[in-house]
Structure 1
């Protein structure tokens, strides 16, 4: 047993010389950096000054790991010129002394819809040195352009609204008043005004003020308000015989081509009236006859005396 151990743990003279040479070579590699490299140069006071501005930020995974801020630019070694922080390019901000971190913070601030409204607002940018902001305040020029809300800086928001003259209701004739006259009445807007006119066209003319109450969508409360301003002019009102005569005219929504021709409508126009009705549906008012392209103004004026809605 001893003989076997001795054979495996003992070294010959050549093996001992080789092992010694290997150890010497490893020692040279380990010691070489200490003899060949120059000793580190101590930092100057100016180079160490930026460490006073180190910001520490704890990460989510390593609460105690500090994040070192980049060295700030010297305030006195940068150019000074007028600029608008809302529109200045990154290169312009670098020339003024902004660090890359300041530029990113300002860009994110503006991209979120915020705005530097006054020079002092530059203090709101996180990480901006007070000395740099104070040095730049005299050079900040905020342009009075239109902001994201659509209002112009330096002007009252009221100046951007269009003011309309106050409605002054006056008495109108229900059979001759146009849409603008109806809209002057309290509670009557464009929608109700158009509905009243369509209903009047459907009837031919109103026989009494109470007929307006039947207009679709007209509340009784609104009618009670506008009733004092409504009148039926005897000169413009139709007699019972006239109303009956109008009701005897063929309706452009139901009459056939032959019935229209019997009322005096030409064959070409009668055929066009029926064809238009089949293609686009019922007419909503007599004015829709103008949509038939070849009907001239004179023909239309004659046509509305021969037909009804």
Structure 2
């Protein structure tokens, strides 16, 4: 009787070979799935739809813009719509400030700014360190209050105690300790170039005049009758017209026009501080002579 050889009967060497082959297959599959799972998790850990991804990208770009926004010191009394929006103010808050300013009034502290605009404490905390309140705004506000309460009575009172700084002579100025021939002539010359002092604080702009001497002058002389100045448009004037202002050199006036041509209309006087060579320490004098209106 002939017996057929079984196909499932293996020698010891054949069984070892089959075992190692199966082991290699299992290890290969294991490494394959581990690699595939790891690469997928790194490439796309979250499956986001297009709308959600677009919103995330928008928020990222907004945060990058806020981080890159550099704030320069500015006078909050002259915040334009664009400036206010950039700082985070709402339309209503900006309108409240503009309505307040339309009455000829000025805010002179961060507390007063919040009282007028009703901005939140958190926003005030962020922007108030950049507030710059000049002396002339306080003087202007005092003048506006005089106008409301009766300017003639106050002017008469001042006229009794002081002489008009716009009418004082060089000889009278020399009566002040610290002012000699050169300084008295320099004051008169500077006053003539201005066309007359608009505010008392402009006396500090006279070269070589020390602050303590200025205070002595104010004990006798003040601006009682300021000249009428026709403001020049910052957005339409030529460089030559701008250079006629005492506080602007010819090169700076030309750069203002170049800046205007590149960036369009100037919305705030604070933008001028970005111009190379601009006298930032005299930024508060500019609104006395220039206007943003076309």
Structure with the bigger RCO (C-alpha within 8 Å, sep 6+) is 2
What TM-score does the superposition give when structure 1 sets the normalisation length? 0.30
Larger CA Rg, structure 1 vs 2: 1
What TM-score does the superposition give when structure 2 sets the normalisation length? 0.31
The structure richer in helix per residue is: 2
